[in-house]
Amino acid sequence: MRSRDLCGGRWGRGGANQAWLPASRSILRLAVLFPVLLLAPQLASGLTVDFEDVPGLPPTTAEEVVPGGPFGPELDLGGIALDGGIIALAISPADLAATSGSNFYVTTDFMPLADGSLLLGEISATLASAASSITLDVGNGNLFASTFTLTAYSGTAVVASDSIPLGAFASPGGFVGSLSVSGPAITGFKIASDQPDGFKLFSIDTIGIVSVPEPSLVAIIAAGALAMLRFVQACQRRS
C-alpha cells in the first residue's frame, strides 16, 4: 500500500512517484507567501480623520468656539490629538477646502476665540501610535498666495517634510492642495505657512495615517514565511 509523505510524494514498494512534484513545488512556493497575504490588511492598517463625527453643528466663526469644548482647539480624536485650530462648518460654495463632508479644521492668528484668546496660526498633531506615512489636504484661507509645509517628527527629530504653494482663497488657480510625508516611526506632525504674523488663515481636512505594524505581528509573519520556506527547500532536496 502506498502512502503520501508531507512533501506530497507517494512512497511504496516502487519508490517515489515524481511525476507530479513540479506542480507541488509551485504550490509550496505560493504557500510561503500565505502568512503575508493573510495578515497584509493588518500591516496596512490606518486612520482617516475628516472632522465629520462631531456632536451638533460646528461653528462658522472662531468667536463661537469656547476653548476646551468639542470643537477645539485641543482635540483628542482617538489615535490622533490635534491642537492649534478649530473644527468649523463650510458656509459657502467657496469653502471647498472641506474636501470630505462639510467640516474642516481651521487655524488663524487674528480671529479671537470666545474667551478672547488667539491661536498661533499653525496646527500640530501627536499620534497615539507610530505611523509610516501622513497625507492631508490643506486650504489657503487668505486673499494672497501662500506656501504650506507639512513636517513630520519622530520624537523631536524631523523625519520628512513636504511643501505646496497655493493661490489666494477661492482663486481659479487653486487654493486647495495635498501634502504627504513618509518615514520611519512618525509620532507627530505640524502644518505651518509662510503667511506673515497677524495674517495667518488656513485649514486642513481628510488626514490619512498609515500605522507602523506592531513588532509582534512582523515577527509572526517572518516566522511563518521562514518555516514554509524551509519546508519547501527540504522537499526540493528530497526530489
Low-confidence spans in the chain with pLDDT less than 70: 1-45, 91-96, 213-239
Separation CA 140–CA 135 (nearest Å) = 17
Separation CA 231–CA 27 (nearest Å) = 12
Phi, then psi, of 24 in degrees rounded to 5: -60, -40
Fold for the domain defined by 46-211? Jelly Rolls (2.60.120)
Whole-structure pTM value: 0.74
ω into 172 cis (within 30 of 0):
no
Separation CA 42–CA 224 (nearest Å) = 16
**Residue corresponding to grid cell 526540493:** 236
Domain ranges (residues) in the chain: 3-44+215-238, 46-211
Checking phi first, is residue 116 left (phi over 0); if not, alpha (psi -120 to 50) or beta?
left
Radius of gyration of the chain (CA): 27
Summarize pLDDT for 128-160 with one digit per residue, the tens.
999 999 999 999 999 999 999 999 999 999 999
In angstroms, the Cα distances linking 93 to 50, 144, 204 are 18, 19, 17
